[in-house]
Structure 1
Amino acid sequence: MNRQPFLILVTCFILGILFQDRFTLSGAVVYSIAGVCILAFTAQFFTLYVLHKLRPYVLGMLFFGAGITAHFIHAFSEDDFRLNAYSNVVFRITKKLNSTGKNKKYEIEGQSGTKVFNAVLYIPKNHEELDFNHYYQARGYISRPESPKSDFQFDYARYLNRKNIRYQCYIRDEISSAVRKDISLTESIQQKRLEVLQKIDRAGLSKTTREFLKGIILADRTETDAVTAQDFNRSGLMHFLAISGTHIVVIFGVVYIILTRYVPASFRKYAIILSLVFIWIFAAFIGFGNSVVRSCIMLSIYYIYVLLQRKPDLLHSLSLSAFIILITDTQQLFDVGFQLTFAAVLGIFWLNRPILQYFPKQDHFIKKIIFNTVSISIAAQLATLPLVLYYFHQFSFISIIANFVIVPFSEVIIIFSFVMTGIIALGFDFTFLNVIYDTVIRWLLRAIHWFAGFEDVFLEDIPLNLTEMLLLCIIVYQLGYAVLKPDYRNAARMITVIIIFLMIRTVFNIAENRRKEVVVHRLYKNTVFSVKHGAKACFWIKEGSDKEHIMRYIIHPYTASRRLDEVVVKVFPADAEQVTYKGKIYPLN
């Protein structure tokens, strides 16, 4: 508590959020807890000897109760009305989402009659782009997404609920529009970003290069083709395409270097302030995405320490950043990006120095840049590995080599992309720059595609539950000691945790392999019948079904959840209405 008090207190705050999310205490109970927290806070001003001894525990309980209270406040209450399935809708868009194979997607605020609601809007992909300058009106089909009945499927309804979205709206009819006169400053900025994206679409670049540029600088991956996205995913380089802390640090560094070249040393603090202002303006321009805001907050807090002439403490800065983000929106805790961001930073803090000591001597600026970049990448990958396996159940060994090769050049690519975005936004057209940038990105994407082609080292459907994930986190924590000081004591601790992990994993494997299960899975209009026996399962799908979606959303998740070793997929007639298995009838319609 003496060394990292705020880290411990923020951990208590997070535990309070998790407790409230799990048990959903009533308002009366939460208000009682809040009252006790206020009394505990007031009691901190007394200097009684006994209370002084208990102060750390009282503070921990205070933050735990604050986490419960904050999450209760930020929880979105259920609507007390249901909308008509097919009705007239007036709406405005609030966010552009990634498109699907058939539809463009937006988050909207809509109104049907007197009822106002938030929804995800689906319109045909060939429809013209919607913008923030207009209100729209059309007849649409409105539905509430339902949570899946199977425990292994992604709960999309709950995911939307955490964003205060209750409905989905499908529009196939003509959409009419009217110019808005009440557009806010935030929406004006979003509209400017949309216009820059449209300028990039008209630039003299290839389609894949345009989509790469929009993704790496403007955080727009809505039209990235499936092959490119899969290449980044399989090569372990998705963090390179998505806006992350690396991008913000690089942009901050470039602005800071430019400013410091033209101001005296005594004005360096103003260069830091202006650089921080610039990254926040950039964050506003690209829509205050969660990952960008997190990076800006962490970087701002770190440099506030520098400006106040206090020694920067990464863990304290990280804890304060997490607290600021969660106190404004506790639902952020359940965002995978939030968890991966903070896990990566913690991993860099804990593992970078031990890993770096095994690299050759850094006696040159170039060596220092390359070796630090690679060691930071390895540290971040190791720290996020438990979460990646838990949420995505896949890992590629080629990602380690791909990061070695690609990441050292990431700063150059980000800076070049940033310059190209600025040139296009200002309306300039330098053909030779377009050719150079297009060529560089084409070669980059080819290299990433080549790395993604090593399918033998790409593992998917890796089973991992919450208990195993937590044990893996402990292994990563112990790895820091074992790498920094590889003695008998640290090695013994590391081996002990690994043995415990393997024992528990074996128990889970045996328990699942003993389960026999017959399930009828439903995915939109697709119905799948499966029989599981031990570590094997057979799936029957109807002829003409969307096999790709069935594999992605049913078979792969089921394989990871049930720890299957062998999967067989068979087809039965499209007009099949029921299946009889061991004397029991299973309807398929």
Structure 2
Amino acid sequence: MAVVFGVLYRLSNKHFFQKKHFALSTLVLSFSIGMLTQSLHHHPGYKNHYSHYTSESDMLTGTISERLKPNAYAEKYYFKIDALNGKNAFGKILLTVSKKEQSKQFHSGDRLLIKGELTPVVKSSNPYQFDYASYLEKQNVYHQLYLKPENYRKTGSEHNLDYYVEVYRNTLLHSFKIHQFSKDINNIIYALLLGQRQDMDLQTTTNYTEAGVIHILAISGLHIAILYAMLLFFIKPLNRIKNGKLLQFLIVVGFLWVFALLSGLSASVVRSVVMFSIISFGLYLNKSGNIYNILAVSMLVILLFNPNLLFDVGFQLSYIAVFSIVWLQPFYKSLKLSRYKVVNYFVDVLTISFVAQIGVLPLSLYYFHQVPLLFFLANLVVIPLSSFVLILGIVVLALNFIVPNIAIVFGKLLGFTIELMNEYIAWIASFKTFVIKDIPFSFSLLVLFYLMLITLVLWLYEKEFRKLILFLSSSFTLQILILSTLWQTKQGSEFIVFNNKKSTLLTEKRNNLIRVYTNDTLPQKNQNLKSYNRGNFNLDIEIRPLQNVVLFEEQKILVIDSLGIYTLKQKPDILLLTQSPKINLNRLIEVIQPKVIIADATNYKSYISRWKATCGTKKIPFHATAEKGFYKIEN
């Protein structure tokens, strides 16, 4: 295919107007390169991938590569395997460590010898829930392992790239200890300077999200642009010496990529660094590139090295935000409402923020299902403040190593500014009524929403009748789809046994009503129920107490909880075990003869294992929601 493309490219140089077959060959070659790149980066496709050697009890060795954001109960890490069951292998798994059993954190480069069972990452355990397994597959992670103190041994530390990145990053971040900042201030500094948000508390993250400024905590184009400008300012004198321009280019690009490594190579950071590397190369050659070409080339380079980033939320949001700002620039760049530069600066902040928000709105609705209406007020203050914090933070970071006494003086100003920013964001987030949450939004709505936005902008550029027709047609189609989706969600009926750990949760959906059976005192706040209702486009909810017998269509569901009380007047079709009842399952099966037995996530694991073995002996289908996810009965 490459040969055909080369020949057609050579022939195309002889024509001013290009032939269709050249465009077709370009399209086919690009598609082929994409498929080849994807196959090369699909780890299970290699013979020495660990997944080909797994067994019920595995012995594996490898190194910790990265610490992930923990939850309230466990630390999480990526673990790179180099040997499995005595065979050389490669691959990456998710390692989960209980905080109760292991108080000390692991570090990148720690070598471990582990004996345990690799289990597949469970798919969505409840309907309309975030599919964590699918997300990990995009990171080439297919299995997980729950680490226990008695099942592993630390065998040393490997001084690889991951090790040195963490060591130097921690050296930089720990230099702020001389300021004795509070934990909240330290977490903001760690996030803004080096993108480390693992220990960010939930309340701060929620405040930033509901105020519409969560992008501030993710290193993006704004941060890289400030860093790039500061670098150019300090090394500008190099232009006066021989080969100074080349040296300037190498320093800037080298520094940016070191920064990208230290900040974790997130999608938004890589996008920004690649773009500024291309811009720096253009300046070195005294050539200015078209911004659309720079965007396309940077995307191509990134996807060649990691095609799975195409499905990364940060990658998508980052590129669409930048594209929106660039594409809509003609409509807002001429806005000069005042002769004062300060006023025009804040106007620019608002307009650029608004344009970026419009561009990412469909994606935000699809992934996060909420819209913060006060993002204007938040960005008006937070963007200038965060820029000042970032510049001051870099200065303080340098002074921490050079002149600590002066660093402490500037650190007081840094801490005060961050506290001011946090308090302002918390105040904006306190207006809960201005945050529209749980907005249902499907993939088809996402596509049509973007189609409508694109046709609208095309019409604004050239107000032609045919483009107006395209915009109106896409708008009409979007409305038809919304109405059709609403109608479809009200059709049919289904019964769901949720994988809910704290309490038993059952739902019966009929037309436009969801009937909930639970003993939970606050069922409306249950995230599993909220996701299910949102996925059904927010139907009416009716709460009922959990009953021993539930009827759905022609099927009888017998619920046995911790009390172990049940009636045998009628034989049930389905037996549901909850809250670890102490029963003789063998005897119960002989008496009621159920067709299916379900155990929800409220039961002890030891009980579930025993029931599973019993059902295997009796040849009765057994469904444990903790292992297989929710159970659904459809009409």
TM-score (norm 2): 0.77
Whether contact under 8 Å (2:346, 2:380) holds in the other structure is no
Greater mean deviation of Cα atoms: 98-107 or 264-273: 264-273
Q: Pick from 322, 330, 333: which aligns with 2:310?
A: 333
Task: Tell me: CA distance 1:216–1:539, structure 2 relative to 1, closer, same or farther (3 Å).
Answer: farther
Q: Is the 8 A contact 1:133 1:191 kept in 2?
A: no
Alignment of 1:335-414 (within 5 A): 335-361=312-338, 363-414=339-390
User: After the TM superposition, which residues 95-174 of structure 1 pair with which residues of structure 2 at under 5 Å, given as runs?
Assistant: 95-110=66-81, 111-114=83-86, 116=89, 117-125=91-99, 127-137=103-113, 142-148=118-124, 152-173=128-149
Task: Tell whether the 8 Å contact from 1:88 to 1:138 is kept in structure 2 after alignment.
Answer: yes
CA distance in 2, matches of 1:524, 1:80: 33
Which letter maps to 1:57? L
Q: CA deviation at 1:155?
A: 2.0
CA distance in 2, matches of 1:570, 1:183: 58
1:319 and 1:214 map into 2 onto residues whose CA distance is 31
Q: 1:163 offset after TM fit, Å?
A: 1.3
Q: Deviations over 1:428-473 (max 9, x none)?
A: 3644333322221111111111111121121122122222112211
- Contact residue 5 and residue 22 of structure 2 kept, 8 A: no
Question: Is the 1:243–1:292 contact (alpha carbons within 8 Å) kept by the matching residues of 2?
Answer: yes
Counterpart of 2:537 in structure 1 is: 563
What's the CA shift for 1:521? 2.2
3-state SS of paired residue (2:95): strand
How far is the alpha carbon of 1:492 from its aligned partner?
A: 6.4
2:149 is paired with a residue whose SS is coil
SS of aligned partner of 1:474: helix
Q: Which has the larger radius of gyration?
A: 2
The answer to whether the 8 Å contact 2:126/2:499 transfers is: no
1:219 Cα offset (Å): 1.1
Alpha-carbon RMSD across the aligned residues, in angstroms, is 3.3
Q: Residues 262, 303 of structure 1: CA spacing in aligned structure 2 closer, same or farther, 3 A cutoff?
A: closer
Query: Following TM superposition, by how much is the alpha carbon of 1:388 offset from its aligned partner in structure 2, in angstroms?
Result: 0.9
Partner of residue 275 from structure 2, selected from 298, 301, 310? 298
Counterpart code for 2:54? R
Contact 2:279–2:288 (8 Å) recurs in 1: no
SS in 2 for 1:522: coil
Task: Choose which of 301, 307, 310 in structure 2 pairs with 1:324.
Answer: 301
Identify the match of residue 218 of structure 1 among 190, 194, 201: 194
1:315 shift after superposition: 0.6
The partner residue of 1:75 within 39, 42, 46 is 42
2:484 and 2:287 mapped to 1: Cα distance?
Answer: 50
**Cα contact 1:70–1:330 (8 A) shared by 2:** yes
**How many angstroms does 1:190 deviate by?**
2.6
- Equivalent in the alignment of 1:30: none
* SS in structure 2 at match of 1:45: helix
Separation of aligned partners in 2, 1:124 and 1:385:
37
TM-score by length of structure 1 reads 0.83
Check the 8 A contact 1:190/1:286 in 2, yes or no: no
**Cross-structure match for 2:21:** 54
Q: Does residue 551 of the first structure (1) align with residue 530 of the second (2)?
A: no
- Other-structure match for 2:595: none
Q: Deviations over 1:474-506 (max 9, x none)?
A: 232244356667898876654443333212211
Moved more, 198-207 or 60-69: 198-207
2:56 aligned residue = 84
Contact 2:4 2:25 in 1 (8 A): no
- CA contact 2:121–2:133 (8 Å) conserved in 1: yes
User: What is the CA–CA distance in structure 2 between the aligned matches of 1:340 and 1:315, rounded to whole Å?
Assistant: 16
Task: For 1:315 and 1:443, locate their aligned partners in 2 and report how far apart those are by CA, in whole Å.
Answer: 38
Answering whether residue 10 of structure 2 is matched by residue 45 of structure 1, we say: yes
2:167 is aligned, of 178, 181, 191, to 191
AA paired with 2:97?
I
Partner of 2:440: 463
Listed as ranges, the matches of 1:512-527 within 5 Å are 512-523=489-500, 527=504
How far is the alpha carbon of 1:561 from its aligned partner? 1.8
Contact 2:59–2:86 at 8 Å: present in 1 too?
no
Q: Distance in 2 between matches of 1:198 and 1:346?
A: 37
List per-residue Cα deviations over 1:393-429 (Å, max 9, x = no partner).
1111112321223223332121122233334466936
Structure 1 CA distance for aligned equivalents of residues 333 and 544 of structure 2: 51
Report the CA distance between 1:330 and its aligned residue: 1.2
Bigger drift between 415-424 and 260-269 goes to: 260-269
Q: Matches of 1:559 and 1:42 in 2, distance apart?
A: 57
Partners in 1 of 2:18 and 2:417 — Cα distance? 64
SS at match of 1:118: strand
**What is the percentage of aligned positions where both structures have the same residue?**
21
1:27-84 residue CA offsets vs partner (Å, 9 max, x unmatched)? xxxxxxxxx4554444443469899452122212221222223222222327224343
CA distance in 1, matches of 2:376, 2:517: 37
- Compared with structure 1, are the counterparts of its residues 423 and 132 closer, same or farther at alpha carbon in structure 2 (3 Å cutoff)? farther
Which residue number in structure 1 is paired with residue 421 of structure 2?
444
User: 2:59 touches 2:116 (CA, 8 Å); kept in 1?
Assistant: yes
Alpha carbons 1:131, 1:194 under 8 Å: kept: no
The residue that corresponds to 1:528 in the other structure is 505
Contact 2:337/2:344 (<8 A) preserved: no
The residue aligned with 1:230 is: 206
- Structure 1 distance, partners of 2:516, 2:176, is 45
Aligned residues: 545
Gap runs ≥5 in structure 2: 46-50, 558-573, 577-597, 600-635
Residues 414/51 of structure 1: CA separation in 2 closer, same or farther (3 Å cut): closer
